[in-house]
Structure 1
Amino acid sequence: MEKTDISLHEMYKSILEGYLLTNSEHCLYEAQQFSRELIKENMSPEEMVNLHVTVVQELIPSLPPEVLATNELLLEVMVGYGLAYREHQSLRDRQKQLDSEFAVAAKMQQQLLPKDVPRVEPLDIGIKSVAASAVSGDYYHFNEDDQWHLGFAVADIIGKGVPAALCMSMIKYAMDSLPEQRLQPSALLENLNRVVEQNISSTMFITMIYGSYDLQNHIFHYSGAGHEPGFYYQATSDQFFDLETKGLVLGLTKKAKFQEYQAKVEIGDIIVLLSDGVTECRTESGFIERSEVMKLIRSYLHLSAQEIAENVYSDIEKLQNFQLKDDFTLMIIRRDV
């Protein structure tokens, strides 16, 4: 035996012998203190049981065979327990590491998202974005230039965790580096598509809808890359229409082209951009229809854009028993005057 093992052996033998002779609480206290020594020496549970069996046989050599047999059985149980315990500890340490990585990714995402919603007349803008788990796959973006145009983007990264957060940072900085394309949604998506195709794994995909609002002429230009169609509410007819867009998801092919659309926005009209976590709300009875989402938005048209987004989220959260199945992002853009 090594010196440390001999020391532990003698210490435990002295404690157990004293307890067998006196049955005193002081010996129990010594046993508790002895456990600290076991931790210091990183002794496993099965090693402690083996130490106990060895010391008992030294102190009571005339133990009945049945007792010796039970000790052998206990030792085998503790060998299995020790292996399982170490595996559990390893998994727990790994989980702590993953939780730490997710926390870093979540903090990174919060720093990437816009800090404030633009306050630009004549628009009333609201946004509600909630992650279904620690790290979201949804991203939204605003940008304003000096030519009276305001840009809006909603993206969905098909992938989670730290890779999604890193991909989100790439999208943000790629968009920020292309200010000259902000007035042309189709051109912006084409540039962004080339960046994504060159820099992300083939197992990850990004969908996006990007629109540019002309604040002087009240025309909304928009283009999509495989993203969930939004809605357009026309105040004069009191009707909702789909914001249909056609286009491949970002990153599939370097030469992808994206069609551009436009809508004339009148007073009271509303543009709704969203992620599929809104329209593909999963309940116990299945997915809700897009028409149900329109009904929810309609029921709150008398409120501000932010209140509309907040209330629709609250209703959809209730439909899912307060447990989101997918990331939720809803952007409301209304022309007030």
Structure 2
Amino acid sequence: MTSVPMSSGSSPSFEVTGSTGLPEAPPVFALKELVARLQREQYKIQDLLSSLGFALRSLNNLNQFLELIPMIASRVTDAGGGALVLFRADGQVRLERLHCQSEDHCQNVRSALEAATRQVTASLQPTAEGSITATARNAMVALDHQVNRYLGDEFQLFGTAIIVQNVERGRLYVFSRDPDYAWTETRQKLVRLVADQTSVAIENNELTVALRKKERLDREMEIGAEIQLQLLPRQCPSIIGMDLAAQCKTAQRVGGDYYDFIPTTYDQLRYPGSEVSAVAPWSLAIGDVMGKGVPAGLIMTMMRGMLRAEVLNGHSPAQILQHLNFVMHSDLENSNRFVTLFYAEYDPTRRLLAYGNAAHNPPFLWRAATGTMTRLDTEGMLLGLDMTTQYYEDSIELQPGDTVIFYTDGFTEAANGRGERFEEENLERALQWACRNFTTADEILNYTFDLLTRFIGGDRSNEDDMTLVVMRVKPDAA
């Protein structure tokens, strides 16, 4: 009979003999061994899950993180291996990662899983973009069936969903060839926990990609806004006998509103601040591209270049609008984007304002002598809408103190918190009061913008681009 010492203390040694006559381990010793083994198993699982959490926080590369998923899932469950299958945005179902504890049957498992994913991908029908959720769900259901079919009955298989933003995006499979292996509730929970970490990693990666894309677009918007700002007049030109003020506030960083003071001769371009430039005719244009943002800004930039070339060619207002309409119709056909434009040419020596309108808001004319407000308008449709449109022109002689106010519909369509719009009647009354009580173009412009800001609310931003140009004939020196 062999004795088994229990400890190094003073307790006597003893032995337990079974029915076969062989020694048996004491019950207390066996229980301790069982508890110790369970603790070691628990510590191993905790270490593996902690390592996975650390990798989730530390790894910036999604592919490196996904490499760990099948291995961790199989080790925490003491299974033979694991596989990660994802449903991609292009409709492909792909085996992303595979891990096997033993290489004996790994190639067979890989072949079976790849065959299953190919079968599911081939069976998917093209669907509309809005039904991708249903497509992914159907793909995963079909995948479970095909994986079980190709792997066969020799594998004990468990699979759980990878869910990203409430959309099923793949499956995490864990398998074992041990016939005595059982998928207990605890093992299933561990696999689901690893799958949840995978979902977090995929979502974080997609959010990071989206953020970088947004940052890149923001930078491009900033560049577009800088370019557009450079194209708008930095200051009003010096025109003899005329007081000018202008301002444009865009709803977004790149806007569709446009205004410009355009030299009519090459000498004005060469010597912009000279006396020759001040007495020569100047053109003024104000327009609005349907829409906001980068597309509207690009069209505005294109129109600006064409308009400046037309002005230097010495055409009349009606001819310029006609030519612009031809070109814009060819460029904007089927784009559903059109342009309104009011174009005027002012001769300071005669105080003559010639103008034509392509469906823009007609400017207000305030007559100082009578204190009355009228509109400047001619017949004409939107630029780019119809190539057969005819444009017309008119002219008017301005008198000392007269004021012309050009504006875009961002003023009249501005709304307050109650949804009430500013409307043209309010703008007309405000401008009439300003022209009667102020003596400079800057005062009229600032008063009008401040009034509109108070109307929509100081803490609210404008929903549309807003542009105002004030042209006031200076009183005679006498």
TM-score (norm 1): 0.80
CA displacement 1:21-52 (0-9 Å, x = unmatched):
9x9xxxx9x999866873357434x7656554
- How many residues in Structure 1 have an aligned counterpart in Structure 2? 313
Greater RCO, CA 8 A, separation 6+ = 1
CA displacement 1:107-153 (0-9 Å, x = unmatched):
22112112221121211001010101121000111123357312110
- The letter of the residue matching 1:261 is D
Question: 2:331 corresponds to which residue?
Answer: 199
- The letter of the residue matching 2:461 is Q
Flag the 1:161–1:193 CA change in 2: closer, same or farther, 3 A. Answer: same
- The letter of the residue matching 1:270 is T
CA distance in 1 between counterparts of 2:69 and 2:53 reads: 15
Question: 1:290 corresponds to which residue?
Answer: 424
* Most deviating of 112-121 and 49-58: 49-58
Q: Which runs of 5+ in 1 are unaligned?
A: 1-16, 59-63
* Alpha-carbon shift at residue 160 of structure 1 (Å): 3.1
* Alpha-carbon shift at residue 165 of structure 1 (Å): 2.5
1:187 maps to 2:319 = yes
* Alpha-carbon shift at residue 304 of structure 1 (Å): 2.1
1:114 maps to 2:250 = no
Of 325, 332, 336, the residue aligned with 2:470 is 332
Q: Which structure 2 residues correspond to residues 145-224 of structure 1 after superposition, within 5 A?
A: 145=264, 148-180=280-312, 182=314, 184-202=316-334, 203-224=336-357
Question: 1:39 corresponds to which residue?
Answer: 60
* Most deviating of 91-100 and 34-43: 34-43
* Most deviating of 315-324 and 222-231: 315-324
- The letter of the residue matching 2:428 is M
Question: 1:128 corresponds to which residue?
Answer: 247
Question: 1:252 corresponds to which residue?
Answer: 385
Of 449, 453, 463, the residue aligned with 1:317 is 453
Identical aligned pairs, as a percentage? 24
**What is the DSSP-based 3-state SS (H/G/I as helix, E as strand, rest coil) of the residue aligned with 1:175?**
helix
Of 211, 218, 230, the residue aligned with 1:92 is 211
CA distance in 1 between counterparts of 2:433 and 2:249 reads: 21
Give the number of the structure whose alpha-carbon radius of gyration is greater. 2
Of 69, 88, 110, the residue aligned with 2:188 is 69
CA distance in 1 between counterparts of 2:454 and 2:315 reads: 39
**What is the DSSP-based 3-state SS (H/G/I as helix, E as strand, rest coil) of the residue aligned with 2:64?**
coil
Question: 1:306 corresponds to which residue?
Answer: 442
* Alpha-carbon shift at residue 171 of structure 1 (Å): 1.3
Matched-pair contact (CA < 8 Å) for 1:128–1:310: no
CA distance in 1 between counterparts of 2:238 and 2:315 reads: 19
- The letter of the residue matching 2:307 is M
Flag the 1:79–1:155 CA change in 2: closer, same or farther, 3 A. Answer: same
* Alpha-carbon shift at residue 210 of structure 1 (Å): 0.5
- The letter of the residue matching 2:455 is L
- The letter of the residue matching 1:281 is A
Question: 1:9 corresponds to which residue?
Answer: none
CA distance in 1 between counterparts of 2:463 and 2:62 reads: 47
* Alpha-carbon shift at residue 77 of structure 1 (Å): 2.9
- The letter of the residue matching 2:376 is L
Q: Which runs of 5+ in 2 are unaligned?
A: 1-39, 79-182, 266-278
CA distance in 2 between counterparts of 1:123 and 1:287 reads: 32
Matched-pair contact (CA < 8 Å) for 1:183–1:212: no
CA distance in 2 between counterparts of 1:185 and 1:74 reads: 72
CA distance in 2 between counterparts of 1:40 and 1:285 reads: 48
Flag the 1:66–1:180 CA change in 2: closer, same or farther, 3 A. Answer: closer
* Most deviating of 155-164 and 84-93: 84-93
Matched-pair contact (CA < 8 Å) for 1:234–1:270: yes
**What is the DSSP-based 3-state SS (H/G/I as helix, E as strand, rest coil) of the residue aligned with 2:327?**
helix
CA displacement 1:42-92 (0-9 Å, x = unmatched):
434x7656554444446xxxxx94542321232343344444444433433
Q: Which structure 2 residues correspond to residues 235-246 of structure 1 after superposition, within 5 A?
A: 235-246=368-379
CA distance in 1 between counterparts of 2:405 and 2:313 reads: 22
